[in-house]
Amino acid sequence: MSPGDRRGKLVVGNWKMNGSRAANAALLAGVKAASPFAAGVAVCVPAPYLAEVAAALQGSAIAWGAQDCSSHDAGAFTGEVSAAMLAEFGCRYVIVGHSERRALHGEGDRLVAEKAAKALAAGLTPIVCVGETLAQREAGETAAVVARQLGAAIELLADRIGDTVIAYEPVWAIGTGKTASPAEAEAVHAQLRSRLATLSPRAAAISILYGGSVKPDNAASLFGQANIDGGLIGGASLNAEHFAAICKAA
């Protein structure tokens, strides 16, 4: 068995700010009906729905998580949700540093790393997002940008980086219908993996997900790459049939 065979395949739906109690129930019923999946599967849902989603998924093999957490433990941080609160709802995962939070909420590399640290301290698995903008790609800066983003997480988390999941999401591919080609994505994943491999075999063995316009018709070719261990799925995770097909491709 090669080291690659031991890495967990994982598909995570990021619902973003979508859903309603009725729509969520229908979506989860559809995904559950298509399960079990060979890969690990999770959905990261808006925080107000966590209790209901937890109840709907209880007893299934599908995990759930949140889309962000605070870099603080508790206190006067209006609107924030702590990692410990998410853990109380049975969350397994929390996305940190999604490009939408970096771009729309001014989150920088250090803050993202601090959020990941809080998630780990609460017993959650942070899904740390990295990725370049179109301008950065066109300027030939992709490798430097993702190295800096991953580097900030490594600097703060040290060996606990081995308890995270990394998601490479090129910003220009998110919600645009433009996917990185399997070779383009693989090149970045291989770079991230080799950086992790300089730390420890455990760090090198974490799951690195690809995100950005993953659909049922392109999932298998992306997930077939040596260093792509699954996906972080936006739009297609809102359709039970499409999400299940992507989960089956992993």
Q: Would you please indicate which residues are annotated as catalytic (active-site) residues?
A: 98, 169
- Contact between 212 and ligand 13P by CB under 6 A: the answer reads yes
Is 213 among the residues that bind ligand 13P (CB under 6 A)?
yes
Q: Is 171 in the site for ligand 13P (CB under 6 A)?
A: no
**Residue with smaller CB distance to ligand 13P, 17 or 76:** 17
In this structure, the number of other CB atoms found within 10 A of the CB of residue 189 comes to 23
CB 199, min distance to ligand 13P, A? 25
Interface with ligand 13P, residue 169, by CB under 6 A: yes
Please tell me whether residue 14 binds ligand 13P under the rule CB under 6 A: yes
Site string for ligand 13P, 93-112 (x = CB under 6 A): -----x--------------
- Interface region with ligand 13P, contact rule CB under 6 A, candidates 45-53, 81-89, 141-149, 230-238: 230-238
Distance (Å) of CA 196 to CA 93, 137, 211: 20, 22, 19
CB of residue 211 to ligand 13P, shortest distance in Å: 4
Query: In the structure encoding, which two tokens stand for residue 27, read together?
Result: 């979506």
CB crowding 193-214: b at 16 or more within 10 Å, else e: bebbeeeeeebbbbbbbbbbbb
Coil, helix or strand at residue 19: coil
**Closest CA relative to residue 218, chosen from 190, 189, 177, 160:** 177
Of 80, 21, 11, 10, give the one whose Cα is nearest residue 50: 21
Binding mask 33-52 for ligand 13P (x = CB under 6 A): --------------------
Q: Which is nearer to ligand 13P, 30 or 72 (CB)?
A: 30
19 binds ligand 13P (CB under 6 A): no
Closer CB to ligand 13P, residue 56 or residue 171?
Answer: 171
Q: Are 95 and 63 in contact (CB under 8 A)?
A: no
State which H helix or E strand residue 40 sits in: strand 40-44
Taking CB under 6 A as the rule, does residue 66 contact ligand 13P? no
**Cβ of residue 232: shortest distance to ligand 13P, in angstroms?**
4
Which residue's CB atom is positioned nearest to ligand 13P? Answer: 234
**What ranges in 122-239 are assigned the alpha helix state H?**
134-138, 142-157, 182-197, 201-204, 216-223
Residues forming contacts to ligand 13P in the complex (CB under 6 A) are 14, 98, 169, 174-175, 211-214, 232-236
